[in-house]
């Protein structure tokens, strides 16, 4: 019985990781860059919703839409200003470091605008959730909404990538930028679109993250961001279903290890399992095998 | 010819470090150095050391590590435990020297052990596993309680009560509270000597037979293997040396600050990424660049203190601009054009 | 070719740094004047040659713990402005300056050195334990008087020149356990603490050691770390399964607000018991204060106390900074007035050397009885620890009420 409770708790944490990981893996798969600022896009989304819903007492729906639009703009602008000039740089690390710069920038900007004190976020999900076995077994509304949302996003993304022209272009760019360009694909536009989608997903993830864990601070995106990144690697970075599975597995492992092994060492255990998985499957659960050719 | 050029380049690197040292010493002796700058010298140097270590891993070996501060952490804790235990038994110079030996050896050992699984992976997967190891090290040390009393050593992963210490005992690592009261043995001169030694080791390695083998593995491991190079051996060698040097930086760290805690500010992935920033900005594979970039970037936020709350915001903007200027293909072209014009005019 | 490129980029970087160095000089001077804004205008009436007392403070002004450091820096600014408006200390005006340490002991030492260059005579800091501990090594060397508002780890006041305003961690753990035991609040107690935090694990240790003497049983002690402090479902579930009637939370309000929310969603309602880090929970913007109903805490300060001193302080703070102060701020505010009282006792002047001022303060602070926001009667002994009574408060209808 209590195992079931813990499992459900793991599922609810995992669903949050999964939805963040979706955005991460999407950008990585196509632009081939680790957008370290992704976690901070989430933070921006949360503050936008908070400002509209709590400070200006606006409608939740309006808040989410505004956050999605703003994050999309932010993502596209960041890509244009900070990442695009570095495309084709001598080392892929250059853009990684710039992403870290962007992350510092967003965190410190939020610190200046909103202050360091935490703010409490009102859930965007009003539904209380399901209750079984006389209330001992509860599934929170936000958990169900998160899982449903991530499944919907997963399906839509898969359809988009495999069925539309733009999606096909993304696949082509992911496969080989140069060849894609020769085939008449507008690589710049495709990457911009990827960032737009990734950042919009960050806004949605932010709304759900803060509904589940309603504490708002300028640094709120950093840790879930890095955990979601781990989840994305775990599932095979670049693979969209992999991110979903990776996120759920990571959440469940984290909760169960904290329950049954040690609450002090749970971080170490989670990372330990990641290492073991990667040693057995060096490109993650669903990652493509890279065959190195001479 | 190439040999001569190389020696000259290495001498310039040592020269810069020694020159900087002399300038600082003179300023210090004549009382022209503010306490603020004086206090920055040792940290600046150990960050330069770990940047050199990371550049060996990222630039020479070609494997991205974002957990290098974990090795620094191990070096710091190992040497700190040693110094605490022998504080009254050994004279300071001997003890501090031994602390270096202990710190470096333990960090190297962990580098070796961690290298075995890590180096089997590639690219981003390798990077994320180094991050994972860095976090594991930090997390485990945070949960260690270690004490010594008349009955010997006690260790627990739960809490300090479980140690069951005799009243005469001394708790050395107190979980998250870490180690307090490590003797402050580090000073600028010692730090510079360690930096010079680290440079000596890395620069000589680069120009040795082993170093060329390591770089061959970096450039194309399959080709290197078919040329009869033992890929695993050379990867392990570079990684272990890199960890050992990071450990030396840790020894300086723990003997410069009296309160040592395994928190993310010092040893988490954020800190490791900070070092990576030094390496990338200084030039991947350019050892001299790492030293200079570490010094400049460590000083930068300190020098921006006058800007108060805008400090870190400005720092992040400078970082982005510097990256674009240094690395963007367009900026590189522009710089080359300007340079050519300049050279032509002079010629 | 390649070398040329890296050379140029290095030069560019150096030029940029040089630019910022130059820029820093100016702006540094600017901040000094703004910090002592009122000083400049009133210094003319001040005594001999416009000399001023210089108070420095150190704390995390950026980064995850910025809320605490800013409270300290702001409160000192507030207290200094008040003192200056009322004629200063011994007729001399006071200047203050706060420096950022990002919760990093190494940067805290850097901040200390910066303040020393500025001419600081007394240090109110560092805000956090590990940082304060590292800085105390330097203040001890320089023989500078250090009064930390909020560094609570036992070792922080090991040197004779260091004193503190807040309670020590062992003291708080002990007091909490004794209070729970004496008032028979529960027989089964659960604990959730931050095992990666010096403050939290320090209190937890003494609390757990004292528990058996107080007739209650610790049925679950679960940790979280700085890297996993969003989800508390496991820790709460374990406490619930173990039948804990009281949950002891030796943590800051930032995490506690999440714990209260999550306990509520899982339908677990024990008595929650916090320590001074819990103060601030009612002022979290948009927080549903009904969740904190019945929460007990041992704290020296309550932002909605009705005495004049607190009311004025809170009002002025809100007017100036747009936030409600927490106990960190209150401790720092008291620290300024404690130093003022000591200086007035001895009639010290700013032209005395740092070391002389330290000696004078060291011998005076143990003789005075101070009254402030965090206690009506505070005294110190040479160990550096304050003697003051923690107040137990309980939250009723969204406000603190004295618990008895």
- Per-residue pLDDT, averaged over A64-75, amounts to 95
Task: For helices C66-85 and C327-346, give the axis angle rounded to 10 degrees.
Answer: 40
Run of H or E including A156: helix A141-163
Interior CA angle at C372 toward C370 and C374, to 5°? 115
Phi-psi region of C63 (alpha: psi -120 to 50; beta: other; left: phi over 0): left
Give CA angle at C222 (C219, C227), nearest 5°: 175
pLDDT for residue A285: 84
| Selected residues 55-114 of chain C with any CB under 8 Å from a CB in chain B | 61-63, 99-100, 102-107, 109-114
**Dihedral class, residue A128 (left if φ above 0, else alpha if ψ from -120 to 50, else beta):** alpha
Averaged pLDDT score across all residues of chain A: 88
Instruction: Report the sign of the C-alpha dihedral through residues C208, C213, C218, C219, in that order.
Output: positive
Question: Would the CB atoms of A264 and B317 count as touching at under 8 Å?
Answer: no
B315 to chain A: which residues are within 8 Å by CB? 104
Q: Does B316 touch chain C (CB under 8 A)?
A: no
Stretch A96-102: mean pLDDT: 91
> What's the rounded Cα separation, in Å, for the pair C278 and A44?
27
Contact C227 A121 (CB under 8 A): no
| Residue B6: how many other CB atoms lie within 10 Å | 13
Chain B residues lying within 8 Å of A272, measured CB to CB: 132, 136
pLDDT (0 to 100) of residue B286: 92
Distances (CA, A) of C96 to A88, C55, C121, C396: 50, 5, 10, 38
pLDDT tens-digit profile of A152-172? 999 999 999 999 999 999 989
Residue A116: pLDDT over 70: yes
Which of C195, C238, C258 has its CB closest to that of A215? C258
Rounded distance between C-alpha atoms, residue A116 and residue A122, angstroms: 19
Q: What's the Cα-to-Cα distance from B64 to each of B121, B218, B277, B284, C156, rounded to whole Å? A: 11, 11, 12, 11, 39
Distance CA C4, CA C8 (A): 6
* SS3 category, A23: helix
Contact C16 B180 (CB under 8 A): no
State the Cα–Cα distance between residues A227 and A213, nearest whole angstrom. 15
Residue C355 touches partner A, C-beta closer than 8 Å: no
> Strands C122-124, C145-148: parallel, antiparallel or unpaired by DSSP?
parallel
Over its C-alpha atoms, chain A yields an Rg (Å, rounded) of 19
pLDDT at C2 (0 to 100): 46
Q: Which ranges constitute the DSSP H helices of chain B?
A: 2-29, 35-55, 68-85, 92-118, 123-142, 188-206, 209-219, 221-226, 231-254, 264-267, 269-282, 287-303, 311-327, 329-346
To the question of pTM greater than 0.90 for the whole model, the response is: no
Give C49 to chain A, closest Cα distance, Å: 38
Q: How far does Cα A130 stand from its chain's mean position? A: 26
Q: Min CA distance, B36 vs chain C (Å)?
A: 4
Using alpha carbons only, how large is chain B's radius of gyration in Å? Answer: 22
Element (H, E) at C272: strand C271-274
- A101, A275, A283: residue with CB nearest B319: A101
Which residues have CB under 8 Å from A134's CB, separation 6+? none
CB C202 within 8 A of CB B177: yes
pLDDT score at C3 = 46
Given CB atoms, is A117 within the 8 Å cutoff of chain C?
yes
Q: What is the pLDDT of residue C282?
A: 84
Instruction: Please tell me which of the candidates C24, C102, C209 has its beta carbon nearest to residue B306.
Output: C24
A121 contacts chain B (CB < 8 A):
no
CA distance B308 to chain A (A): 11
What's the confidence (pLDDT) of residue B1?
Answer: 62
| pLDDT > 90: percent of chain A | 43
Closest alpha carbon within chain B to C208: B161
Contacts of B148 (CB under 8 A, 6+ apart): B85, B154, B169, B170, B172
Q: What number of CA atoms fall less than 13 Å from residue A256's CA on the CB side?
A: 13
Q: Do A226 and B269 touch (CB under 8 A)?
A: yes
SS3 category, B132: helix
C266 by DSSP, 3-state: which?
Answer: coil
CA torsion through residues C219, C168, C174, C299, sign: negative
Closest among C77, C42, C36 to C335, alpha carbons compared: C77
| Three-class DSSP category at A256 | helix
> Which segments in chain C show pLDDT lower than 70?
1-50, 404
pLDDT recorded at residue C265: 84
Following DSSP, what letter does each residue of C31-53 receive, concatenated? Answer: HHHHHTHHHHHHGGGSSGGG-EE
> Is residue A118's pLDDT more than 90?
no
Beta bridge partners of residue C402, listed in sequence order: C393
Containing H/E element for C273?
strand C271-274
pLDDT, block means (10 residues), chain B with 347 residues: 84 94 92 89 95 94 92 96 91 94 97 92 85 92 88 82 78 87 91 96 92 91 89 93 97 91 88 91 91 93 82 89 89 87 72
d(CA C214, CA C85): 49
Per-residue b/e over A245-259, b at no fewer than 16 CB within 10 Å? Answer: bbbbbbbbbbbbbbb
Contacts of B256 in chain C (CB under 8 A): 106
B273: helix, strand or coil: helix
Q: Is the model's pLDDT at A143 over the cut of 50?
A: yes
Report the candidate in C229, C203, C208, C57 with the shortest Cα–Cα distance to residue B177.
Answer: C203
Supply the pLDDT for residue A226.
86
| C234 in contact with chain A, both atoms CB, cutoff 8 A | yes
Tell me the shortest Cα–Cα distance from B347 to chain C, in angstroms.
17
List of residues 6+ apart from B238 with CB closer than 8 A: B56, B57, B60, B61, B205, B214
CB atoms within 10 A of CB A265: 21
Residue A54 at interface with chain C, using a CB cutoff of 8 Å: yes
Asked if C381 contacts C366 with a C-beta cutoff of 8 angstroms, the reply is yes
Please report residues of B whose CB lies closer than 8 A to that of A226. 131, 269
The more confidently predicted of residues A18 and C403 is A18
Contacts (Cβ under 8 Å, ≥6 apart) of B20 = B295
SS3 state at A274: helix
Whole-number pLDDT of residue B347 = 57
Residue A1 has a pLDDT of 67
């Amino acid at each position: 019985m209590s195992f079931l409770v813990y499992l459900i708790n793991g599922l609810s944490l995992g669903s949050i990781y999964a939805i963040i990981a979706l955005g991460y893996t999407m950008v990585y798969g196509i632009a081939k860059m680790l957008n370290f600022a992704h976690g901070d896009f989430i933070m921006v989304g949360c503050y936008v919703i908070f400002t509209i819903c709590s400070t200006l007492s606006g409608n939740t729906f309006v808040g989410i839409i505004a956050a999605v639009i703003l994050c999309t703009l932010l993502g596209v602008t960041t890509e244009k200003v900070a990442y695009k000039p570095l495309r084709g740089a001598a080392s892929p690390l250059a853009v990684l470091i710039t992403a870290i710069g962007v992350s510092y920038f967003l965190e410190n900007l939020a610190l200046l605008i909103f202050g360091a004190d935490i703010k409490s976020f009102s859930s965007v999900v009003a539904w209380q959730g399901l209750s079984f076995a006389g209330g001992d077994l509860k599934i929170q509304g936000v958990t169900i909404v998160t899982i449903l949302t991530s499944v919907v996003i997963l399906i839509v993304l898969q359809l988009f990538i495999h069925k539309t022209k733009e999606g096909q272009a993304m696949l082509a760019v992911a496969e080989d930028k140069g060849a894609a360009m020769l085939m008449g694909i507008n690589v710049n536009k495709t990457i911009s679109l990827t960032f737009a989608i990734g950042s919009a997903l960050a806004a949605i993830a932010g709304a759900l993250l803060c509904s589940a864990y309603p504490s708002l601070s300028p640094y709120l995106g950093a840790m879930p961001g890095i955990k979601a990144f781990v989840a994305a690697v775990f599932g095979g970075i670049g693979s969209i279903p992999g991110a979903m599975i990776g996120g759920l597995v990571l959440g469940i492992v984290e909760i169960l290890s904290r329950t049954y092994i040690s609450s002090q060492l749970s971080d170490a255990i989670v990372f330990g399992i990641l290492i073991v998985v990667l040693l057995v499957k060096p490109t993650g659960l669903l990652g493509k095998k890279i065959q190195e050719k001479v | 010819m190439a040999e001569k050029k190389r020696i000259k380049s290495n001498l310039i690197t040592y020269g810069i470090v020694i020159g900087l040292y002399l300038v600082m010493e003179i300023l210090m002796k004549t009382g022209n150095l503010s306490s603020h700058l004086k206090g920055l010298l040792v940290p600046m140097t150990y960050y330069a050391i770990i940047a050199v270590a990371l550049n060996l891993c990222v630039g020479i070996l070609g494997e991205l590590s974002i957990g290098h501060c974990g090795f620094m952490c191990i070096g710091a804790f190992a040497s700190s435990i040693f110094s605490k235990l022998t504080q009254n038994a050994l004279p300071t110079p001997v003890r501090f020297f031994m602390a270096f030996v202990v710190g470096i050896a333990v960090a190297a050992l962990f580098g070796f052990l961690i290298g075995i699984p890590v180096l089997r992976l590639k690219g981003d997967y390798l990077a994320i596993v180094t991050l994972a190891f860095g976090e594991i090290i930090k997390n485990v040390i945070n949960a260690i309680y270690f004490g010594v009393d008349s009955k010997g050593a006690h260790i627990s992963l739960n809490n300090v009560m479980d140690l069951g210490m005799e009243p005469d005992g001394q708790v050395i690592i107190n979980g998250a509270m870490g180690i307090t009261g490590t003797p402050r043995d580090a000073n600028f001169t010692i730090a510079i000597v360690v930096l010079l030694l680290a440079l000596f080791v890395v620069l000589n390695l680069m120009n040795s037979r082993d170093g060329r083998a390591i770089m061959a593995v970096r450039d194309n491991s399959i080709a290197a293997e078919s040329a009869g190079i033992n890929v695993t051996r050379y990867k392990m060698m570079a990684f272990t040396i890199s960890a050992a040097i990071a450990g030396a930086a840790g020894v300086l760290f723990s003997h410069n600050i009296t309160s040592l805690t395994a928190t993310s500010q010092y040893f988490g992935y954020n800190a490791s990424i900070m070092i990576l920033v030094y390496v990338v900005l200084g030039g991947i594979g350019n050892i001299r660049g790492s030293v200079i970039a570490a010094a400049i970037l460590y000083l930068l936020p300190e020098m921006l203190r006058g800007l108060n709350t805008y400090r870190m915001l400005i720092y992040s903007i400078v970082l982005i601009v510097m990256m674009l200027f240094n690395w963007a293909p367009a900026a590189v072209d522009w710089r080359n054009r300007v340079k050519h014009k300049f050279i032509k005019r002079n010629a | 070719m390649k070398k040329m490129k890296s050379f140029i980029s290095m030069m560019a970087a150096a030029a940029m740094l040089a630019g910022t160095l130059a820029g820093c000089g100016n702006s540094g001077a600017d901040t000094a004047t703004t910090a002592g804004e009122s000083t400049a205008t009133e210094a003319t009436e001040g005594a001999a040659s416009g000399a001023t007392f210089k108070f420095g403070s150190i704390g995390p002004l950026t980064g995850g713990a910025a809320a605490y450091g800013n409270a300290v820096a702001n409160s000192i600014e507030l207290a200094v402005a008040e003192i200056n408006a009322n004629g200063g200390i011994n007729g001399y005006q006071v200047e203050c300056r706060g420096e950022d340490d990002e919760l990093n002991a190494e940067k805290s030492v850097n901040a200390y050195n910066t303040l020393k260059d500025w001419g600081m005579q007394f240090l109110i800091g560092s805000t956090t334990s590990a940082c304060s501990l590292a800085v105390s090594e330097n203040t001890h060397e320089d023989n500078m008087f250090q009064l930390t508002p909020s560094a609570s780890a036992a070792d922080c006041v090991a040197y004779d020149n260091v004193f503190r305003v807040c309670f020590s961690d062992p003291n708080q753990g002990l007091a909490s356990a004794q209070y729970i035991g004496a008032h028979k609040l529960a027989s089964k107690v659960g604990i959730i603490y931050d095992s990666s935090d010096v403050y939290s694990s320090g209190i937890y240790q003494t609390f757990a050691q004292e528990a058996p003497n107080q007739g209650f049983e610790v049925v679950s002690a679960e940790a979280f770390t700085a890297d996993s402090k969003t989800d508390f479902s496991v820790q709460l579930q374990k406490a619930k399964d173990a039948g804990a009637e009281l949950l002891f939370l030796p943590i800051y309000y930032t995490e506690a607000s999440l714990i209260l929310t999550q306990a509520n969603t899982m339908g677990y309602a024990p008595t929650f018991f916090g320590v001074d880090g819990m103060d601030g929970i009612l002022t979290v913007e948009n927080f549903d204060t009904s969740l904190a109903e019945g929460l007990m805490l041992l704290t020296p300060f309550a932002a909605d106390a009705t005495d004049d001193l607190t009311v004025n302080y809170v009002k002025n703070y809100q007017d100036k900074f747009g936030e409600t102060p927490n106990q960190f701020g209150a401790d720092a505010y008291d620290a300024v007035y404690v130093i003022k009282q000591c200086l007035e006792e001895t009639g010290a002047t700013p032209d005395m050397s740092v070391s002389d001022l330290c000696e004078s303060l060291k011998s005076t602070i143990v003789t005075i009885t101070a009254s402030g926001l965090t206690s009506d009667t505070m005294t110190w002994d040479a160990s550096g620890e304050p003697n003051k009574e923690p107040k137990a408060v309980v939250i009723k209808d969204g406000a603190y009420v004295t618990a008895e």
